[in-house]
Amino acid sequence: MGKPTGFMDYQRQTWPERDPWERRKDWEDYTLPLAEKEVQIQGARCMDCGIPTCHMGTNLNGMTTGCPVYHLIPEWNDLVYQGQWQEALRREHRMNNFPEFTGFACPAPCEGACVLGINEPPVAIRTIERAIIEKGFEEGWVQPEPPSRRTGKKVAVIGSGPAGLACAAQLNKAGHWVTVYERNDRPGGLLTYGIPEMKLPYHIVERRVNLLKEEGITFVMNTEVGKGISLRDLHEQYDAVILCGGAAVHRDLDIEGRELKGIHFAMEFLHKNTKSLLDSNLEDGNYISAEGKDVIVIGGGDTGTDCLATSVRHNCKSLTQFDYHVKKSTERLDDNPWPQWPVIHRVEYGHKEAEAVFGKDPRAYTVVTKKFVGDEEGRVMEVHTINVEELIDATGKKVKKEIPGTERVWPAQLVLLAIGFTGPEQSIIKSLGIETNERSNVKAEYGKYQTNVKGIFAAGDMRRGQSLIVWAINEGREAARECDRYLMGNTDLP
């Protein structure tokens, strides 16, 4: 374990952030590296406690707690403290193919389940995780490791997000020939086009994909299964197919004025911005600009925050984020005990940047959008809202009730809907009669991943619904294991 008194001797420290006013002028990583010695000190705060819930990923009260890939967190914390970085990297890669993805963009449910977090700030697990893998790349320790033998079996993986990449990486380790199909021009799925450059720089994704290519995985880009090639064709051409296409059907608002110009899904906004940025540094103009506009972001989650940060960099005129819920407490409430994910008020990078520019936190709480109003040219110009309060009905269920007199009209020339996804696209699923569940996700038992069609598996958001990067990696790895078992009769994959 780390230093026996480490949690008493040292304060929690995560990677420093660049000044919000300055960083909003560029698209570079908004964080700065933490000094190596300081990372080691953070490792000393971990006690390798007798109940390391940090690495036992599960769902409690509808939320993720602990690490779904069962990261060997106390082990690599201690190794970092001892200065054994290369061994720490080996432990990190043992359970997670892509610690850089989770190190940059995972919300860290492991930290929410850290025992120290009961009455002290938790161990800075994600900061340490990211430091290990970055040092590994800097030192040249991360090298392609192609399999020593090939089985001759061919597997098609549809989708190159975290589930698809993890699945492909594991199947390739087992010696199968793996081809990944991606409809976009760059691999990575939402890692590339759903998370902004300043939060997860594309070169982080690209360097890992290049390693996977060197290990023997084939990537077929600009090919949408169901259009460029059918699922039936793949089923006939490959020994197995794994569906990792994500949950791409947006949740929408069915209210008056929704058809107006200037109202977009958040992912359309983020995707076009990143593509234009990577293609031409935004010089081609092929993106939805927030410049000079009153921007309303509907949705209080991480995607909404990414929209804030992107709009700030476009030099928007004003910026407001609607949150349906009441402002949370800065401390856990009694009905949200450890080790549940702490449902508390957080100030994320996009909020800090908006406040630096406009002088206040951009969030408006308990707001419900009632309608959109446009101008004579059919462009949105106003958002009409009302506030709500939460009550308990006769059955004990929480309900929202509108508060008369709280109606408000907000100016808006750009509205971004960041209210999540309802499930995967159905055309590819229905093309072979693959069964779905009541939530429209592909029906495949967790831990088995086999659909009702022999030889076709499903993993990630396409199977479980909208979720976290770390769950996608978990399911991609496990689906690869079950696919390997199907192909070979047994498996050595974890």
Least confident range from 49-58, 79-88, 154-163, 435-444: namely 49-58
Beta strands 154-158; 240-243: pairing state: parallel
pLDDT digits 0-9 by tens, 152-211: 999 999 999 999 999 999 999 999 999 999 999 999 999 999 999 999 999 999 999 999
Task: Compute the Cα dihedral for 88, 93, 98, 102 and give only its sign.
Answer: negative
Mean pLDDT of the chain: 96
Q: Is the pLDDT of residue 250 over 80?
A: yes
CB 439 within 8 A of CB 421: no
Burial of 222: CB neighbours in 10 Å, binned 0-12, 13-18, 19+: exposed
How many angstroms separate the CA atoms of 289 and 310, rounded?
9
| Fold topology of 252-419 | FAD/NAD(P)-binding domain (3.50.50)
The Cβ-side half-sphere exposure at 451, using a 13 Å CA radius, reads: 27
Q: Is the pLDDT of residue 50 over 90?
A: no
If pLDDT is split at 50, 70 and 90, which confidence band does 4 have? confident
Encoded amino acid at 248, one letter: A
Distance CA 277, CA 255 (A): 33
Q: What is the pLDDT of residue 394?
A: 86
- Residue 462: predicted pLDDT: 97
What are 142-151's pLDDT values in tens digits?
A: 999 999 999 9
**What CA–CA distance (Å, rounded) separates 99 from 90?**
11
What pLDDT is stored for residue 1 in this prediction? Answer: 67
Question: Could you tell me the CATH superfamily of domain 6-138?
Answer: Alpha-helical ferredoxin (1.10.1060.10)
CB–CB of 163/473 below 8 Å?
yes
pLDDT tens across 332-352, in order?
A: 999 999 999 999 999 999 999
Contact 494, 174 (CB under 8 A): no
Element (H, E) at 44: helix 36-44
In the prediction, which pLDDT does 51 show?
84
Using CA atoms, how far apart are residues 207 and 188, in angstroms rounded to an integer? Answer: 11
Share of the chain above pLDDT 70, in %: 100
Least confident of 124-138, 395-409, 473-487: 395-409
- 154-249+422-488: CATH topology is FAD/NAD(P)-binding domain (3.50.50)
Tens digits of per-residue pLDDT, 318-331?
999 999 999 999 99
Domain with CATH 1.10.1060.10 in the chain: 6-138
The boundaries of every CATH 3.50.50.60 domain in the chain are 154-249+422-488, 252-419
Q: Of 137-141, 237-241, 332-336, 470-474, which range is least confident?
A: 332-336
Please report, in angstroms and rounded to a whole number, the separation of the first and last CA atoms in the chain: 25
Cβ–Cβ < 8 Å for 47, 6: yes
Beta pairing partners, 442: 436
| Confidence grade of residue 395 (pLDDT, cut at 50, 70, 90) | confident
Query: Whole-angstrom Cα distance, residue 319 to residue 315?
Result: 10
The two beta strands, 249-250 and 263-265, are unpaired
Q: Enter the pTM of the model.
A: 0.96
pLDDT at 2 over 90: no
Q: Is the pLDDT of residue 376 over 90?
A: yes
